[in-house]
Structure 1
Amino acid sequence: MDSTLKFQLRLSVSLELAKALRADSSGAALPALRDILRRHDATVNCQYDAFADYVREAERLGTQNYPLYQWTRDTLDNPEKQAKYLQWFTVYVRGDQIYDRHIADVMETELIGIAGDSGIERVSKFDTNPANSPQPPKR
């Protein structure tokens, strides 16, 4: 595999844990998660909130420079998608949303180890290879 690829972890969590994580991204509501995040200088960010921030920024600075604006706006306005993205969280390491494979691998193993009854329903790992990523919708 290409060593220049970066990785990102995402968590799908219960509604109850999602509410707690949106209020405190350090993971304090789940001590095992908080410990993993601390060890790796990491936080979590709700994907719905990240989408809302993107839309606000695009509307403030001009949507023409934000190719995913309309898709993101439509997602925020769709109740089914809103419910989904309120329960998905991106793991940021040292403030970065993508990071080296070794960091992603170690954290993925640790997070899978606490998934289940903790409220973490799924741990997913993505890479930056465009062939493995969804492409922006056509306008």
Structure 2
Amino acid sequence: MDEPWKYQIRIDLDDAAAEAARGEGDHASIKPLEDTLARHHAVLKCQFHAFADYVAEAEAQGVANYPLYAWTKATIENPDKRAKYLKSFTLYVEGEEVYARHLADALEADLQPLVERGLIKRLAKYDSNPANNPQPPAQYRG
């Protein structure tokens, strides 16, 4: 039987590695990460850029249909949060933002040595269970 939840891996990198991962720096420094991702058919998406894309789409389509718009917009406009999320990346596997547990577990296991070597500063696995995910602060709830 399939699990009801999907999973997602997120990582944080230091400034230089994050710059390279965003395509702005020397890719040689993150080659071990790129090689691991390639084996899993995975790619990085910068969290800040994902948030900015969400805000831009909401503004183009009408914010009424985007319940996280105000919270997300406030996040990307906050300089401290901008700095944080420019170093945080979601890993998409086979083009999907969330994926089966066995895919997340295998990717997590293969990334662990990069944590131990210091290339990845933080590695986290999340599930899609709403009870385990942050909710907007009160001022951003409908």
TM-score above 0.5, yes or no: yes
- Corresponding position of 2:13: 13
Alpha-carbon shift at residue 136 of structure 1 (Å): 3.5
Measured after TM superposition, the shift of residue 119 of structure 1 is: 2.8
State the Cα deviation string for residues 77-123 of structure 1 (Å, max 9, x = none). 10111111111000000110100111111111111111144431011
1:65 equivalenced with 2:55 (yes/no) = no
Q: Which runs of 4+ in 1 moved over 6 A?
A: none
Instruction: Tell me what 2:109 maps to.
Output: 109
> How many residue pairs get matched?
136
Q: Which residue of 1 aligns with 2:41?
A: 41
Question: Contact 1:6/1:128 (CA < 8 Å) preserved in 2?
Answer: yes
- The one-character-per-residue Cα deviations of 1:28-86 (angstroms, maximum 9, x if unpaired) are 64221111111111100000000011111111111111111110110011011111111
Equivalent position SS for 2:8: strand
TM-score (norm 1): 0.91
SS at structure 2 position matched to 1:5: coil
What RMSD in Å do the two structures reach over aligned CA positions? 1.7
Identity %: 48
- Aligned equivalent of 1:50: 50
Q: Provide the residue aligned with 1:80 in structure 2.
A: 80
Normalised TM-score (structure 2): 0.89
CA positional deviation for 1:5: 1.1
Aligned AA (1:10): R
For 1:23-34, list aligned pairs within 5 A: 23=23, 29-34=29-34
- C-alpha deviations, 1:6-41, integer Å up to 9, x for none? 1000001101111111117xx764221111111111
Cα distance between partner residues in 2 of 1:117 and 1:105: 19
- For residue 95 of structure 1, what is the amino acid of its counterpart? G
Q: Distance in 2 between matches of 1:33 and 1:74?
A: 31
